[in-house]
Structure 1
């Protein structure tokens, strides 16, 4: 019975989080309670906890994680400067006079907004407030309108520079080094957040193309569900460029500096934050009150992330001290089907946990447990990171617990029933499952470009 303490601890933390208790304190509190119980039973060496101060210091002083507040700052600045509102208006006017044009504009703007903010909730709420009334008012089927907004909002999970990829990259880097040390490799290879950014480009763009193909298919086969907005006048070239170029140039400045090796992801995040501030200033939106509001929002998100990081560090240390990693490793190695079955099981568990946990908790709690084991079995770390990000993106869309559905329900009018939102995301869930299958069959979709850039 005592050997199953790690699994019991994992079940207890899931139950505690489902009850709504603060994540960071729940992780650390449950871990310390189990450590105390195991010490009293003589099943846990108290000296194991002596590694905790150095682990916490390493977490707080991690230079990679400095990218988190900088990317959050960039996203909040772009949101508050109403750049998305202007861009959506221009794109809607450009495409809207064609069947499905409004849907296409929402997908394109959602992609750019996801790349700019990297936060699912912010993108879904922003797109819901800006585009849903316009789409419904012009006769769009509510299922297509709501499904498109939810799906494009979740692109923030996979389109770089994504905060999810920053956190996944840091966690998988530690897991990759741990896996190599466990295999007796004492000069381990490294994995950077930039590798995940580059690896996510092809799958992310392919997913956007699948979304666009679905909208074009609706326009061709069922135009009455996605009617043209004949009241919109196409914008002039100057107006279009004025709305489109700033966010595109900002995204290229961030990703381009990483691709050419001119900046690390952390330094590129600084470029993005500065660029967002310059764009807000050029639009006349930069003020002391705006900076104060943006700073408060950035501080809230950053504190949440780092407190969860500290709680997760305590949890993972106690989990390993109780022998949890050995228990899971023996379980995976004893499964029929080897690495395929083990990876499939992990993906199913992460998908189900995505219903009740945010990506931050999953990244800091689940990935450190299963990551070293899968990587030691030969799974490519870049491929694994992209698969986890796509998997969580699919989970956040899936009824009845998908987070994106809750975000949109909060801003959608009462005239749109929840059942239509659920039905609207089903085709997009199918497209994301298709993308996961394609990535499983051809891992090179995620690994080819990073290998090319490295060489």
Structure 2
């Protein structure tokens, strides 16, 4: 029995998590229990646990994961500023007259919110409260309307900037380095968050296109499922459309452009995004829009000009021109700082900042506690021989590298029915990814395949988080069974997305190879 302790440990973890006990404590508790069992039965060297302190220190000082709380804060501020409502109203009036037009608008708004907030729960709840009643009033089939809202909300996991992609970048980079060490290379390469953000852009947009095509085709074949909406609303003017879409698009370009252009690290770009989100929130809660635009313009101009014409006034050979440029930069800084101050003061008075900080703290604590507990779990699992068992299993599967990858993808998909993406990412993937990379799979391509697969875990019953979020926000006439039924076609579209990226690897590898 002792030779199967590693397998029993994984089974015990599943039971503990499904029991409803807090996840991080479940993972750590199972690790403690099996470390003791392994030591008592003489199959584990307990001195391995001496590495726990190093793992905790490494987590706290991890430069990649520091970006998570700042990106979460950016999304939380945008969520509290009710930007989703304006987007949904504008897009709904733009496309509502088409068959499936409201569905199209929900998917497009989901993509915009994904690229600006990246928070699945906030997006699903916002669209469940605003768009779902409108779709039902227009005569949409309830299950289809629920499926569209759930699926559009999950785009925040694959379209950057995304918490999932940041965690995956760290996991895959560590696995890639481990694989290089095992190949005898001691001058190892690392992977960056920017590479994974770049790799996810085309697959993320591809999924959006798949959803839109499905809605258009189904609207043509079964118009009774999604009739054109005649809600008596005027089409928005061009100024309204630009006013709703332009701010989040500019925020997306400033954040992703800074990362992909090599101007800023993900953490620095996330800080830019948080300031941009604060300014957008200020515009929504009554600050003079001209002041917000002036401040945002000054900060953007300062960032661009200081990169093109850097000034170092401490140098002895600084000329009058240098001092003049420095003075202009100082004025831009003051204008930007004043706009940020106004937005921050209004945000504090309106309780937006406090609520955003509270939700950021809660989510960040959950993610980091899970990662820390998973480090403990993996140490014990390795000590019980689990890593060798996993590597041996993958190497001896029929079909070679592709057979091993297919097994892992199916295994991750099944785990997604029961576990959260954070748990799968930090517990399961570090055990299987090094072996898959050693078999010859490109780590970035592999990471994007797994990201799409993990995105699906938000839609798969019984524990898909998007389903829970929508159940809480949906009207009472929409049943849980209808929500489950509605996501089934979109799970099939996710599978098609995985197959497309698998068969056409350049979809994930081309953009990072060009940029980096």
Q: Is the structural similarity TM-score above 0.5?
A: yes
Residue 339 of structure 1: how far off its partner (Å) = 1.0
* Structure 1 position 396, deviation (Å): 2.3
Q: Distance in 2 between matches of 1:35 and 1:221?
A: 58
Does the alignment pair 1:72 with 2:69? Answer: no
> Is the contact between residue 123 and residue 153 of structure 2 (CA under 8 Å) also seen in structure 1?
yes
Cα distance in structure 1, aligned partners of 2:127 and 2:421:
21
Q: 3-state SS of the aligned residue for 1:64?
A: coil
2:267 is matched with which residue? 266
Say yes or no: does 1:316 pair with 2:378. Answer: yes
Inter-partner Cα distance in structure 2 for 1:48 and 1:232: 66
Structure 1 residues 356-401: Cα deviation after superposition (integer angstroms, max 9, x where no partner): 1111111111111111111111111111111111112223223444
Q: Quick check: 1:345 aligned with 2:376?
A: no
Whether the 8 Å contact between 1:118 and 1:164 is mirrored in structure 2 is no
4+ residue runs of structure 1 moved beyond 6 angstroms?
none
Counterpart among 371, 390, 413 of residue 452 in structure 2 = 390
TM-score between the two structures when normalised by the length of structure 1: 0.97
Aligned ranges 1:135-284 → 2 under 5 Å? 135-230=135-230, 231-284=232-285
Secondary structure, counterpart of 2:370 in structure 1: helix
Q: In the alignment, what sits opposite 1:287?
A: 347
- Report the Cα distance in structure 2 between the residues aligned to 1:297 and 1:71, rounded to whole angstroms: 12
Alpha carbons 1:96, 1:232 under 8 Å: kept = no
| Whole-Å separation in 1 of the counterparts to 2:167 and 2:370 | 12
Which position in structure 2 is the counterpart of 1:413? 475
The 8 Å contact of residues 125 and 411 in structure 1, kept in 2 or not, is answered as yes
Q: Distance in 1 between matches of 2:27 and 2:438?
A: 26
Whole-Å separation in 2 of the counterparts to 1:72 and 1:274: 13
Structure 1 residues 31-180: aligned runs within 5 Å = 31-180=31-180
Query: Displacement of 1:131 after TM fit?
Result: 0.3
Q: Which moved more, 1:411-420 or 1:332-341?
A: 411-420
SS of match in other structure, 2:146: helix
User: 1:332 deviation in Å?
Assistant: 1.3
Bigger drift between 410-419 and 302-311 goes to: 410-419
Deviates more, 1:34-43 or 1:438-447: 34-43
Structure 1 residues 398, 305: closer, same or farther in 2, change over 3 A?
closer
Any stretches of 5+ residues in structure 2 without a counterpart? Answer: 287-345
**RMSD, matched Cα:** 1.4
CA contact (8 A) 2:31 2:380 kept: yes
The equivalences for 1:358-437 within 5 A come to 358-437=420-499
Q: 1:406 deviation in Å?
A: 2.2
Q: What SS is found at the alignment partner of 1:170?
A: helix
- Contact preservation (8 Å) 2:416, 2:460: no
Query: Please, what TM-score do these two structures have when normalized by structure 2?
Result: 0.86
Provide the rounded CA distance (Å) in 2 between the counterparts of 1:441 and 1:62. 34
In 1, the alpha carbon distance for the partners of 2:192 and 2:391 equals: 25
- Contact kept in structure 2, 1:355 and 1:403, CA below 8 Å: no
Q: Distance in 2 between matches of 1:185 and 1:251?
A: 38
The count of aligned residue pairs is 454
Distance in 2 (CA, whole Å) between partners of 1:174 and 1:51 is: 16
